[in-house]
Structure 1
Amino acid sequence: MDVSQTNKPIINGTSTTEEIVIKKFTPSKWIPALMVAWSVVICCMAAVKNFGGLVATRLLLGVFEAGFVPGAFFLLSMCGLLAYFITKYMDGKGGLEGWRWLFLLEGLITFIFSLASFFILPNFPETATFLTVQERDYWVTCLRKDDCTLNDSQHYKIDHHSLYLVVKDSKIYIVMLIGIFIGSALHSIALYLPTVIYSMGFDPFKSQLLTVPPYFTGWCISLAITLHSDKTEERSFHLIFGGCLAIIGFFGLAMFENINLLYVSTFFCTAGVSTFAPLSVAWVCSIFSTPHDKRAIALAMVISFANISGVLASMLYPTNDGPRYCK
């Protein structure tokens, strides 16, 4: 099969909630468009004057980010390092506070990369110009083997019967509940790690800088666990192992009083929660494997409920309860 002659793209294997939209707009347009939108919103956050403006821009940011599943913890570690230098050395430049420069520069960087993505991001395996014909052929063959129900007539069809298949499957409700708990842990670390470290007695700038080692360690451990999971083709016990690491970390934050042990506990937290996002997506895909529309709908439902947990996580770490947050 010469995939270079194939006109209809294959989207099997998409692991985000936006598969149906991508079918219509293609990834190279949809994903950069989201990036452009939220980068503009981030830049606008630098100009907010009151709490209402902050809430409005944050709401818009959530709307535009909803179609793009984050989860690159290595990039988060770099963002922590970047935030430290921007807030420390740009404070007062041009009459702007450091936090305004943080929003402005990160928004501009995202905007530039999103524009470049319009031209360099491939839509589907058949259109990936950085691959040879043989590599594209191999990729498409693997995708077809992954979903034997896929054929050319299905590429642009949205099988509404798949929604019924998901809704009547009792497993989806159990997985959605698990997603809420996983999401709470993920959002807690993503939102409050600098606050947790700050409550240990470090100054704000150093707190931002000290988020880098836990995130980098979490990325390394997550990579090792997910690679082993992929090699053994097993998801559940790897997820449980990641959960145990997170439990150790959160338990340490609740019980220890020594600053060094508290900081070490954050490494366990990031290592545990860093494994949740990639492995949970792969786990859901294996549970609801075929047809591919059923898999996409299941992912959409699970991720949506996991994102709702951000509301719960936003209330878990008031500064006055630090550094153990037991109340």
Structure 2
Amino acid sequence: MHPSRGSNSSHQHLLRDEDTQVNYGAVTSAAGVLLSQADADKTNASLRTKIDLAVLPTVAMLFFLSSLDKSNISNAAVAGLLEDLHMSEAQYSTALMVTLIPYSTAQFATNLIMKVVGPRTLLPTLAILWGFTCAVQGFVTNYEGLLACRFFLGLFEGGLLPGITLYLSTFYPRQRLQLRGSIVLSAVTVASAFSGLLAAAIMRIDGLANKPGWAWLFILEGLFTVAFGGACYILLPNTPMSLSFLTEADKRHIVQKLHEEGTILADEPDEHLNLVEIGRTFIRPHVLLVSIAGFLNGATVSGLGYFLPLILTGLGYHGRDAQLMSVPPFAVAAVCAITASFFSDRYGQRGLMMIVSGMVATVGFAIFLASYTNLVRYAALFLLVPASFCVAPPLGTWAVNNSAPFARRATALALVSGMTNIGAVLATWLFAMSPAPRYTSATIVLLVFQVAVVVCATANRLWLAHENRRKEKLRQASGLTSAPEHGPDSVMEAGDNSIWYKFVL
């Protein structure tokens, strides 16, 4: 390879995946000095780290606050919400369902709106709106008022996760995306763990200003979200072009790399943003299989997120102890999800990660179902909770990795996320209709769901491998050695239909 021209040539391979990086030899530095591959890799890693620091903390905090504000109702339920509002367990499940219905349907619109207004406008605005709604929950005095708040909370939070995933896909190539997505998604487990600690602390101000502790839980967490949402108008870069520390050469390379994968930036025009491209997404086998897996795993993850404190009550823990004992399984889940995603990115294996995680979760549910010893059942949570959460990161990433152009990618993300939340709606009734403390019927259903996740991931992996082999034959028959930059066969024009678009397994 010939050295790159220009004073910033050492940065020219920013964000290349590992398989691409190892094919490059020496790189020329700004001073004209020939750098070794190791030095070039260090330079690239340093630049990636800067981009990570500019983007990931902000979006991870947004999702952390979203998860905290959505799931803190489970902590409030243990802290006296049900008694104070004279609610039954069935009404509690209804309140959860009312949140999830708009949460599941808002995502299609918000993903397309983000293309118009930009992520730096949309994502902070959503945060301010749901944060305010969360705080209002602290002032409700009846069940009907709570239902109204939960509806708008779901409506404003619904577009966040697919919006963030779509946003990150405009900063990182496909092989670098899952680890970043996993870091963001780990906010769910951190929020689930932290909510127990935070709830235990806030309960100490129970009675302040004649308000119960659960009311202060909603008020304080909601107001913090509003404040952080306002700060995000400044903190959140709109596109890689907004990052001042990148050179013009760096920015050109990022755009070129993303365009090679069919990615269009938030502020670029998109001729394929139409109903035809949106409709085609719904007949793509790999999108449908991942969406079904999202529904199945969504029921599992949401069921655990909403009901784990109540499950722990059935294992003999009460009040603050139940809040605190929910922390370790979720903390382990966060570490496992990030670790597994690191290897998934490194080796490009989304489906394999889902298959292994689904198997481990199945074993965990089987132990929880079969045992009558509380200590063993609590230990089983350290299998089923981390493994279930490890399935979540590759779901959205797999959909993004294998969908182009923007309209298909946005729709695929919304479909996977929407199906995940429909599964969450089911989970609210699974546990409500399953007698405590064993929750036998709910456990059986979620065990079967994890087996089905393994089946979906295996089938999807086989289909994608078949498509890659078919495209490889067509590429050889074309007589071309590289993908055309323009024209009907280019990735930018044909999207994932292009024979040059390789699906990630």
What range is the shorter-chain TM-score in? 0.7 to 0.9
Which letter does structure 1 place at the counterpart of 2:318? D
Aligned length: 312
**Residues 39 and 111 of structure 1 are in contact (CA less than 8 Å); yes or no, is this contact kept in structure 2?**
yes
Give the partner amino acid of 1:59.
F
- Aligned partners of 2:403 and 2:412 also within 8 Å: no
Tell me the residue number matched to 2:139: 47
> How has the CA–CA distance of structure 1 residues 136 and 312 changed in structure 2, closer, same or farther, with 3 Å as cutoff?
same
- TM-score normalised by length of structure 2: 0.58
Larger Rg over CA atoms:
2
CA contact (8 A) 1:42 1:61 kept: yes
| Distance change in 2, residues 1:137/1:257 (3 Å) | farther
CA distance change for structure 1 residues 188 and 153 in 2, over 3 Å: closer, same or farther?
closer
Comparing 93-102 with 145-154, which one deviates more in the overlay?
145-154
2:437 is the counterpart of 1:323 = yes
Q: In structure 2, do the counterparts of structure 1 residues 142 and 84 end up closer, same or farther at CA, with 3 Å as the change threshold?
A: farther
1:74 maps to 190
What is the rounded CA distance, in whole Å, between the counterparts of 2:250 and 2:265 in structure 1? 20
Amino acid in the other structure paired with 1:316? L
- Comparing both chains, which one has the higher relative contact order based on Cα–Cα distances under 8 Å and sequence gaps of 6 or more? 1
Match of 1:311 in 2: 425
Give the match for residue 12 of structure 1: none
One of 149, 157, 169 as aligned partner of 1:57 = 149
Which residue does the alignment assign to 1:279? 394
Q: Distance in 2 between matches of 1:130 and 1:221?
A: 32
Residue 195 of structure 1 contacts residue 319 of structure 1 at CA under 8 Å; is this kept in 2? no
Cα deviation 1:137-166 (Å, max 9, x = unaligned) = 443343223227889974476133212322
Cα pair 2:258 2:264 within 8 Å, conserved = no
| Equivalent residue for 1:83, pick from 199, 214, 218 | 199
User: What is the root-mean-square deviation in Å for CA atoms of aligned residues?
Assistant: 2.5
Question: What per-residue deviation string (whole Å, max 9, x for no partner) do you get for residues 152-203 of structure 1?
Answer: 9744761332123223334443333222111111111111111111111111
1:77-118 per-residue CA deviation (whole Å, 9 max, x = no partner) reads 22222122112x111222111101100110011111111111
Indicate which of 280, 295, 309 corresponds to 2:409.
295
Structure 2: how far apart are the matches of 1:56 and 1:150? 36
Amino acid at match of 1:207: A
- Residues 5-154 of structure 1 correspond to what in structure 2 (within 5 A)? 18-69=110-161, 71=185, 72=187, 73-87=189-203, 89-129=204-244, 131=246, 133=248, 135-147=250-262, 154=269
8 Å Cα contact 1:255-1:324 kept in structure 2: no
The letter of the residue matching 1:307 is N
Query: C-alpha separation between the residues in 1 aligned to 2:190 and 2:270?
Result: 33
Q: Distance in 2 between matches of 1:132 and 1:76?
A: 40
**5+ long unaligned stretches in structure 1:** 3-15
* 2:199 counterpart letter in structure 1: A
Contact 1:183 1:306 in 2 (8 A): yes
Cα distance in 1 between the residues matched to 2:433 and 2:260 = 51
Which structure 2 residues correspond to residues 123-272 of structure 1 after superposition, within 5 A? 123-129=238-244, 131=246, 133=248, 135-147=250-262, 154-155=269-270, 158-272=273-387
Once residues 34 and 194 of structure 1 are traced to their aligned partners in structure 2, the CA distance between those partners, rounded to angstroms, is 28
Q: CA deviation at 1:25?
A: 1.2
- Superposed displacement of residue 279, structure 1: 0.8
Provide the secondary structure at the position in 1 that maps to 2:431: coil
The question of whether the paired residues in 1 share the 8 Å contact of 2:340 and 2:353 is answered with yes
Q: C-alpha separation between the residues in 2 aligned to 1:98 and 1:35?
A: 23
Identical-pair percentage: 28
The one-letter code of the counterpart of 1:121 is L
How far apart are the structure 1 equivalents of 2:436 and 2:120?
Answer: 44
Residue 136 to residue 215, structure 1, CA distance change in 2 (3 Å): farther
Q: Would you say the 8 A contact 1:48–1:54 is kept in 2? A: yes
**Equivalent residue of 1:302, what SS?**
helix
Q: Secondary structure at the match of 2:160?
A: coil
Kindly state the Cα deviation for residue 319 of structure 1 after the two structures are TM-superposed.
Answer: 8.8
Letter in 1 for 2:257: C
Query: Contact (CA 8 Å) 2:358, 2:388: kept in 1 or not?
Result: yes
**1:47–1:130 Cα change, 3 Å:** farther
SS class of match (1:281): helix
1:312 CA displacement = 0.7
Q: What's 1:9 paired with? A: none
How far 1:209 sits from its partner (Å)?
A: 1.1
Kindly provide the amino acid, as one letter, of the partner of residue 432 in structure 2.
P
CA deviations 1:253-309 (Å, max 9, x no partner) are 2121212111111121221122122111112223x3322321221121121121111
